[in-house]
Amino acid sequence: MNKEYAGLVRENKAAIIDRWHQVVLGYLPEKMHNKTPLAGALLDILGEVLDSFNGSEGARSDALSNITRVLAVQDLPPSKAMSLFFDLKAILKDPAFGIQKKKQWDEMQADMERLTLQAFDSYMAHREKIYQLKVEESKRQAFMMSGRTRA
Amino acid sequence: MPKFAPKLSELKKELEEKPSLVKGDYPDKELFDTPVEFRDGNWCYPAKPELVEEIGFPNPRKWSPEDDDWKLPEGWEKIIRDGMKDRLERFRSFKLFLDTCVRCGACADKCHFFLGTGDPKNMPVARAELIRSVYRNDFPLAEKILKGFSGARKLTPEVIKEWHMYFHQCTECRRCSVFCPFGIDTAEITMMGRELLHLIGVNNNWLLGPVANCNRTGNHIGIEPHTFVQNVESLAEDIEDLTGVTVNPTFNRKGAEVLFITPSGDVFADPGVYTMMGYLLLFEHIGLDYTISTYASEGGNFGFFTSNEMAKKLNAKMYHEAERLGVKWILGGECGHMWRVVHQYMDTMNGPADFLEQPASPITGTVFENAASTKMVHIAEFTADLIKNGKLKLDPKRNDHLKTTFHDSCNVARGMGMFEEPRYVLNSVCNTFHEMPENTIREQTFCCGSGSGINTEEFMDIRLRGGFPRANAVRHVRERHDVDSLVTICAIDRATLPALMNYWNPGVSVYGLHELVGNALVMKGEIKRTEDLREDPMAGFEDEEEDED
């Protein structure tokens, strides 16, 4: 994206990610230690999402796919799953991160809206994938039977 | 000091830093405050009434977990209490495990379902507490001894709903027991919980369907004997097309030396059938005198996830058939819970199998002393012995198109301590193998997330969550070593890991160990091999063959 606010996000990545990670862990039914596989994966993936503010379209798309892959199987309604970007916006409002100029704020706001919509597409793709997995599993169970039908 | 034992300083740090029940880190809620909510994706369909009737289980009816009224039988509270009393008397382990736990929390973050869902009731200590809390309240002596402990509660329909939810979010994998300082096996508590639920007709169709099928026709899917034969013969034809080699399996042949029993998934489902092709090639390669039963046509034992009595009955059919056919011993295929039952329970359920002989390999002469009582040998052990004694002609280059890792199946790894044999075989039949991280394999292996009879499609969301820790470990070797093949020795793994991999690690395929053995075997009289048993090209192999020519 190469925008002013993205540079500030990069400079403050460690502090932002620490707060964002805790917020997202709060979506789960109970607090989880940072070293557990799910919490660790979330930390990595949220970092990818932040990095993607300064990266290519492809990197952003991969990062969004990774975060929504995790969220799509959690016990969360889609609206809650997608709220992670609104929570990020709230974190970035902290003056400590220096995003204060109107231009910076407007750019960030626009990008965040775009990210949210892209993430929703990705979230829905993963939900569709789950239904596809069910169909494929049923087909594998009937592999020999369906093979005989084809023969 | 064991190599991987934590240091005192690490334990202290862990206690200080990690949240836990004992430190009061969850002050805002009582454990049982939140009622369970059944909604699409988090429950399995209840058993059809006709299935429940067929196997003589109580309270057949139409019901749904989403209903307020579960149509429990009259006097269900007494049935549960009497059932619990009976089991506390019959199963010393159950009583011991209920009494011993001090809620230290060592098991809390070891369960794949807790790690994948973050649901505190999926911490093994909490899952066991679901029953323990009723035990405290309803059994006077326990109440007296444990007076002052919080959490005693009355038996209500809400408690039953909670049991149903969480005893079916435990795959009885026993990873938690590895970390319990008292050795409490929470899987045994889950088994008792499920038995009690079955007493009042709270059940799962994916469990009782296979149980009824196995009880009636001898295998989970309910394949009739003639279809079972057709399937195996069809695989033999595929082998002939691919290799030019004719294999000649026999069925129900009296007087064969060995009865071969494998999970029925190897006879009807993808990718299990390729593992079956591997077995058939192996037996042809060594000239084994074996037969396959169309009646004891299932190694798996879903009775084990239902009740002790049903596990015993389904296990017994294998031994009855071995006796009827007059074989010397039984060779068992790649299965998980079949081996758990055989290794840990069979001897007291149906053993000793004195009518059989102590297994000895007819090819190498090796006597399998570990099978002295059960008379049943694991195929990985059998094949490892063949390789060790130089009895197999193998070309591991034929698996060069695969970069493998190995998933230890819970029941074989933790249930019978088999770690090295499958790795020895795998390393002998392929050239590229990478281990997943140490704390995710061998006795610490993470479950596939779908074992113990919950591998049904309507439960996919929970399965994908529960399988996340395993998938995450596979991701590790995929990213570092470009691993694309997950090899395993369990039929449920072969059935369920493809979906797990497809979701979390697209591009990783699932293989049975003996499928790779079948790829690598150089058979007498074979035609030029250019494809593996799945008819996928053996990468680079064709060039080598041309060079040799």
* Per-residue pLDDT tens digits for B250-259: 999 999 999 9
Kindly report the pTM of this predicted structure. Answer: 0.91
Distance from the B221 Cα atom to the nearest Cα atom in chain A, whole angstroms? 9
Task: Identify whether the C-beta of residue B268 lies closer than 8 Å to the C-beta of residue B285.
Answer: no
Q: Does position A91 have pLDDT exceeding 60, yes or no?
A: yes
In single-letter form, the type of residue at position B102 comes to V
Q: Are residues B176 and B41 in the same domain?
A: yes
Q: Are residues B169 and B271 in the same domain?
A: no
HSE toward the beta carbon, residue A57, CA cutoff 13 A: 2
Residue B164 resides in a domain? yes
Q: Is B349 on the interface with A (CB under 8 A)?
A: no
Q: Are residues B83 and B198 in the same domain?
A: yes
Residue B21 — very low, low, confident or very high, per pLDDT cuts 50/70/90? very low
pLDDT digits (tens, 9 = 90+) for B389-413: 999 999 999 999 999 999 999 999 9
Single residue among B328, B356, B388 that ends a domain in this structure: B388
Encoded tokens for B101: 């736990």
CA end-to-end distance (rounded Å), chain A: 55
pLDDT digits (tens, 9 = 90+) for B303-326: 999 999 999 999 999 999 999 999
| CA atoms of A26 and A76, how far apart (whole Å) | 12
From chain B, pick out residues whose CB is under 8 angstroms from the CB of A142.
268-269
In B, minimum Cα distance to A76 occurs at B117
Q: Are residues B410 and B374 in the same domain?
A: no
Task: Say what the pLDDT of residue B103 is.
Answer: 85
**Pairs across A and B, CB distance < 8 A:** 100
Task: Please spell the DSSP secondary structure of B443-505, one letter per residue.
Answer: GGPPP-S-TTT---GGGHHHHHHHTHHHHHHHHHHHHHH---EEEES-HHHHHHHHHHHHHHS
What does the pLDDT average to over B85-106?
Answer: 91
Helix (H), strand (E) at residue B428? helix B420-429
| CA atoms of B233 and A34, how far apart (whole Å) | 53
| Residue to substitute from B36, B109, B277, interface A, most A β-carbons within 10 A | B109
What does the pLDDT average to over A27-36?
Answer: 74
From chain A, pick out residues whose CB is under 8 angstroms from the CB of B269.
140-144
Task: Say what the pLDDT of residue B373 is.
Answer: 92
Between B346 and A98, residue with greater pLDDT: B346
CATH code at B124?
Answer: 1.10.1060
Task: Identify whether the C-beta of residue A148 lies closer than 8 Å to the C-beta of residue A106.
Answer: no
From chain B, pick out residues whose CB is under 8 angstroms from the CB of A31.
19, 25, 118
Q: Is A146 on the interface with B (CB under 8 A)?
A: no
Q: Are residues B371 and B427 in the same domain?
A: no
Task: Say what the pLDDT of residue B234 is.
Answer: 96
In B, minimum Cα distance to A132 occurs at B499
Q: Is B210 on the interface with A (CB under 8 A)?
A: no
Q: Is B439 on the interface with A (CB under 8 A)?
A: no
> What percent of chain B lies above the pLDDT cut of 70?
91
Q: Are residues B223 and B182 in the same domain?
A: no
Task: Say what the pLDDT of residue B451 is.
Answer: 93
Angle at alpha carbon of residue B431, lines to B427 and B432, rounded to 5°:
95
Task: Say what the pLDDT of residue B22 is.
Answer: 46
Task: Say what the pLDDT of residue B33 is.
Answer: 66
CATH code at B483?
Answer: 3.40.50
| Residue to substitute from B440, B463, B468, B508, interface A, most A β-carbons within 10 A | B468
Task: Give me the torsion for CA of B253, B270, B499, B479, rounded to 10°.
Answer: 100
Q: Are residues B377 and B406 in the same domain?
A: no
State phi, psi for B332 to the nearest 5 degrees. Answer: -110, 140
Q: Are residues B371 and B433 in the same domain?
A: no
List the 499-538 stretch of B: residues with Cβ below 8 A of A.
499, 502-504
Q: Does position B13 have pLDDT exceeding 80, yes or no?
A: no
In A, minimum Cα distance to B227 occurs at A145
Task: Say what the pLDDT of residue B136 is.
Answer: 80
Task: Identify whether the C-beta of residue B280 lies closer than 8 Å to the C-beta of residue B245.
Answer: no
What does the pLDDT average to over B292-299?
Answer: 96
CATH code at B311?
Answer: 1.20.1050
> What percent of chain A lies above the pLDDT cut of 70?
95
Question: Of B333, B482, B326, B471, which is closest to residue B402 (Cα–Cα)?
Answer: B482
Task: Identify whether the C-beta of residue B359 lies closer than 8 Å to the C-beta of residue B323.
Answer: no
Task: Say what the pLDDT of residue B31 is.
Answer: 63
Q: Are residues B384 and B403 in the same domain?
A: no
Q: Are residues B499 and B444 in the same domain?
A: yes
Single residue among B388, B409, B432 that ends a domain in this structure: B388
Q: How many domains does chain A have?
A: 1
| CA atoms of B41 and A74, how far apart (whole Å) | 10
Residues sharing a CB contact under 8 Å with residue A139, sequence separation 6 or more, in sequence order: A146, B270
Q: Write out the residue range of the structural domain in which residue A143 sits.
A: 4-150
Task: Say what the pLDDT of residue B145 is.
Answer: 56
| Closest CB to A38 among B269, B468, B495 | B468
Residue B549 — very low, low, confident or very high, per pLDDT cuts 50/70/90? very low
> What percent of chain B lies above the pLDDT cut of 90?
81
Q: Residue B540: which region, alpha, beta or left (left: phi > 0; alpha: psi -120 to 50)?
A: left
HSE toward the beta carbon, residue B403, CA cutoff 13 A: 13
Q: Is B27 exposed, middle or buried (0-12, 13-18, 19+ CB in 10 A)?
A: exposed
**Cβ–Cβ contacts within 10 Å for residue B111, how many?**
29
Distance from the A46 Cα atom to the nearest Cα atom in chain B, whole angstroms? 16
Q: Write out the residue range of the structural domain in which residue B175 sits.
A: 29-203
Rg of the Cα trace of chain B?
24
Instruction: Give the total residue count for chain B.
Output: 549
Residue B40 — very low, low, confident or very high, per pLDDT cuts 50/70/90? confident
Candidate ranges B78-87, B128-137, B139-148; pick with highest mean pLDDT: B78-87
Q: Are residues B383 and B402 in the same domain?
A: no
Cβ contact (<8 Å) for A129 and B457? no
Single residue among B388, B413, B429 that ends a domain in this structure: B388
Q: Are residues B181 and B224 in the same domain?
A: no
Q: How many domains does chain B have?
A: 3
Residue B52 resides in a domain? yes
CATH code at A125?
Answer: 1.10.490
What three-state secondary structure class fits B290?
strand
